[in-house]
Amino acid sequence: MRPGHFGVMGLALLLGATDLLVKGLGLAMTALPVLLLFGVALPALRHHLDGASYWLGALLLSALLASLASLLLQAGAFELHRALGPYLYLLVLPCLQLAASEATDARNGLGAGLAFALLTVLLGTLREALGHASLFAHFDWLLGPIALGWRLQLGADGIPLFAVAPGAFILLGTLIAIWRRLTTRTADS
């Protein structure tokens, strides 16, 4: 598995939980340590278990890390935790896809976590800017009362399509197309 390539398994998480920048940032801050710790612990798990017991161990480890991240976010930023809801537990899916890759170590976990974090923040930023015509809305969920007036209004109205999951799917497809175009140009040069 190449870092940043999550296939179908991470789509529900990416499309559902990134309608605001603060939610994308919160998800990124949660996913990065989960994927990193999973990448660190997975080689030991692979060394001691094989077959079905390996998959059960990977599932339990990813569920443990996702639950721990959810509890920590709930303790530190309750409103953000409430806004992300069940999407936090879907962090198990990128972990399991990382477990399916043959060469797993801390660098793969870090690379996958950074790519996932970058993508969630980028999608959150684009979806909030295009769908709500604003930036930094509800940043008080993450930073507390200091961020109450941080909302930056970009225009009168946004395009509501981008605030819902189908718009996220369109934006994600556009980002993938741009990425492929840029990487094929670089490879051809």
Dump pLDDT digits (tens) for 62-114. 999 999 999 999 999 999 999 998 999 999 988 888 888 766 666 777 887 88
Structure confidence at residue 1 (pLDDT): 41
CA–centroid distance for 118 within its chain: 8
pTM: 0.85
Query: CB of 24 within 8 A of CB of 123?
Result: yes
In a domain, 6, yes or no: no
Structural domain of 102: 11-188
In a domain, 4, yes or no: no
Residue 32 pLDDT > 60, yes or no? Answer: yes
pLDDT band, very low/low/confident/very high, at 9 (cuts 50, 70, 90): low
The count of C-alpha atoms lying within 13 angstroms of the C-alpha of 52, restricted to the half-sphere facing its C-beta, is 0
Question: Which residue has 């198990």 as its token pair?
Answer: 92
Structure confidence at residue 164 (pLDDT): 92
Structure confidence at residue 26 (pLDDT): 94
What's the mean pLDDT when you consider all of the chain?
A: 87
Query: CB of 122 within 8 A of CB of 163?
Result: no
Residue 149 pLDDT > 50, yes or no? Answer: yes
Structure confidence at residue 161 (pLDDT): 93
Give the total number of structural domains in the chain: 1
In a domain, 149, yes or no: yes
Query: CB of 1 within 8 A of CB of 95?
Result: no
**143 closest CA partner among 14, 25, 35, 33:** 25
pLDDT band, very low/low/confident/very high, at 3 (cuts 50, 70, 90): very low
Least confident of 4-18, 35-49, 105-119: 4-18
- pLDDT mean over 25-39: 92
